[in-house]
Amino acid sequence: MINSLTERQSLMKIYCLGFFRIIGPHEETALGIMSKHKMWMLLKYLIVKKGLMVPTEEILATLWPEHQKPWDTAVLRTTICRLKTALNLKKSSTALNSLIIYRKGTCFFNTAYPCWLDFEEFEMLCHTAHGYGLGKRQEAMEIYKKALDLYQGDFLAEDPDVDWITPVREYYRRLYLNSTKELAGWLMEEGDYETARWYLEKALKTDPYAEDIVCSLIRVLWRMGKVQEAKERYSTFSAMLYNELGERPSRELRELYRAITKINGGHFPNEVTNLRADDRTSGPFLCDPDLFANYIMIEQRRVSRGETACIIVIRRYEGEMKCRRLNDVQEIICKFFRKSDIISLIGPDHLAVLLPATDLDGGKTVLNHLKKQLKKMRVSVSGLQMTLQSIRSDGIFEEQAFYW
């Protein structure tokens, strides 16, 4: 760890967490920002391979795939010279004063060169904080905070589709998420829920699908007494998993949600209870999102035996028209459907209706009748999107969307 500001200022600083950039000793202007020039890609590649002597053939095949002569290293040598010029390095390629060393047949990042790398500092701080956790909790939390402040985004974030960066990026992202979760847990034990929430919210901006972070955040909100917000977080995350990945939340998250909403003995969350018609013995069956997912799996098995089923998904959408709250039309929608239909409020802006024994043509007929019924009742549905999906044995296929 570099302990003094003066010591750090005397070194070349290389930032890879977030957008790549290099700041020379006692300099303020950054180099290499958002540049796709080959010399910067070469430096990034050697940083990823840090500690290894990389064969020139491998470098040429990776960065110059069109290059047909692996023995001809002229383009590589020229790029190294340009890189050294850009970084104002001395021309020697063998002494310790060179960041990049090129020797016949190999090229590598010089680990003995005096420079500071943010991801190395981040990793070292995270491991130190984790190790201090048992006996030096307060010190460990301060170290974790310094580490997490260094994480300004994914490793080399400007190159999201470069395959050779992905494993390193995932390693540091996972380290960041695990460290955030541990710090948040310690902060919760100290009763500092606001700070724990802040770090968890920041982590979700990096990876909105990090379910363990979502689970920790919902737990924090619950302990803060923000029960409704905790339930909305669950509903939003559950809907995102369902819409984009076709998956359901983990058992841990579902159990946490049940503990918050106290679902037992047929009791439902407030969102679903509010959907019920006055006569609970008639009309469609209303259930929570987890139970709805189970019904879908049952229908998938029925479909595999030759039967049919489809789903109507009603969402609010952002457009020229003002979005309408589902609460304004949900009671009417519920009264319209059959007793055999199943309805669930997947999220605050997402209502799903399962239509068993109904093919796509039948689903379109149901949508048309629903539209006419709402129009007849002079109910405005502007700002709503209704999507008809068919159920297949291997998943759900989106067929057609209607904007009202």
pLDDT of 395 = 59
Reading the block at residue 154, the tokens are 């994914």
With a cut of 80, say whether residue 38 has pLDDT above it: yes
pLDDT of 48 = 94
Query: What is the set of domains in the chain, with CATH numbers?
Result: 5-117 (1.10.10.10), 272-403 (3.30.70.270)
Contacts 24+ apart (CB under 8 A), 317-326: 317/383, 317/384, 317/385, 317/403, 319/383, 319/403, 321/382, 321/383, 322/382, 322/383, 323/349, 323/383, 324/380, 324/381, 324/382, 324/383, 324/384, 326/350, 326/351, 326/384
Average pLDDT, the chain: 81
pLDDT of 153 = 94
**Strand 115-117, strand 285-286: pairing:** unpaired
Read out DSSP for 52-99?
S-EEHHHHHHHH-TT---TT--HHHHHHHHHHHHHTT--S-SSSTT-S
Tens digit of each residue's pLDDT (9 = 90 or more) over 359-385: 888 888 888 888 888 777 776 666 777
